[in-house]
């Protein structure tokens, strides 16, 4: 089973243009993501998929593998789809978030391990929610699981809804799960997903995985106890720097 790790890296960002190249204690964000992914023993190859020549040149300069892709893609999934037209001899494709410089290689290994079950088409990572405010936060994507740890539904709303109970008591009643947005697919499945039209559910929630569920695909999850911070906006940088300093102390 050959495994390809792809790090989509887009230069343009409405909230933080050029963020893949920001300096984090002497290394760029994209270099830190790449180096962490390379530590994952499950990967046969790791590469950066970008739409910008400055990122391409930077990755080559630190010795990484990179592929230029179209600037017209609407998601990291679409960018991965372009990559596998060239890198077509892999069985499992992992979409690694390019804005998580502290990503843990053991999490990536656990994600790939899901595919030892031949029935798994798509894999992702979930974590138990520890604080009630995350349950109500629409930027924290929630997921409900079935008996086999497949995601039944993903939502920005609190799911499940607990009737006749104040919000502050919900975590006392049941476990809520947060989606950690790293995906892995069988290559054949990814090709099928890329041909699907957007569904109404996906448009309503702005969550692409709902397109897959709507069309009958199953998303197997693995549970992690670790969540590393991502850098979505400039104000997120300080938290990552604090953790880097702590790791280096």
pLDDT tens, residue by residue, 189-242: 999 999 999 999 999 999 999 999 999 999 999 999 988 888 877 888 888 888
Residue found under tokens 């910008």: 52
SS3 209: helix
Class of domain 3-232: alpha beta
Whether 71 contacts 51, CB under 8 Å: yes
**pLDDT reported for residue 106:** 93
Q: What share of the chain has pLDDT > 90, as a percent?
A: 80
Contacts of residue 209, Cβ cutoff 8 Å, sequence gap at least 6: 124, 151, 154, 183, 202, 219
Distance from the first to the final alpha carbon of the chain? 38
Per-residue 3-state assignment (H helix, E strand, C coil) for 32-70: HHHHHHHCCCCCCEEEEEECCHHHHHHHHHCCCCEEECC
SS3 52: coil
Burial zone of 70 (CB within 10 Å; 0-12 exposed, 13-18 middle, 19+ buried): exposed
Domain ranges within the chain, ordered by starting residue: 3-232
Q: What is the pLDDT of residues 90-128, one digit of tens each?
A: 999 999 998 899 999 999 999 999 999 999 999 999 999
Phi–psi pair at 144, nearest 5 degrees: -105, 135
């Amino acid at each position: 089973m050959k495994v390809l790790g792809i790090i989509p890296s887009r230069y343009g960002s409405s909230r933080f243009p050029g963020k893949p190249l920001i300096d984090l204690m002497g290394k760029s964000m994209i270099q830190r993501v790449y180096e962490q992914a390379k530590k994952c023993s499950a990967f046969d190859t790791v590469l950066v998929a970008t739409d910008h020549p400055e990122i391409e040149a930077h990755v080559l300069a630190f010795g990484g593998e990179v592929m230029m892709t179209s600037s017209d893609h609407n998601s990291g999934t679409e960018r991965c789809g372009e990559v596998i037209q060239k890198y077509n001899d892999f069985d499992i494709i992992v979409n690694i978030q390019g804005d998580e410089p502290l990503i843990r290689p053991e999490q990536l290994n656990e994600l790939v391990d899901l595919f030892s079950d031949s029935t798994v088409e798509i894999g992702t990572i979930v974590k138990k929610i520890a604080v009630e405010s995350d349950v109500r936060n629409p930027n924290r994507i929630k997921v409900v699981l079935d008996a086999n740890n497949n995601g039944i539904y993903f939502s920005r709303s609190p799911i499940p809804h607990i009737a006749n109970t104040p919000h502050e008591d919900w975590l006392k009643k049941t476990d809520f799960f947060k989606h950690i947005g790293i995906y892995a697919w069988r290559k054949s499945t990814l090709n099928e997903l890329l041909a699907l039209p957007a569904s109404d559910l996906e448009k309503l929630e702005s969550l692409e995985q709902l397109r897959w569920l709507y069309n009958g695909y199953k998303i197997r999850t693995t549970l992690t106890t670790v969540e590393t911070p991502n850098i979505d906006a400039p104000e997120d940088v300080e938290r990552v720097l604090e953790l880097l300093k702590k790791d280096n102390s």
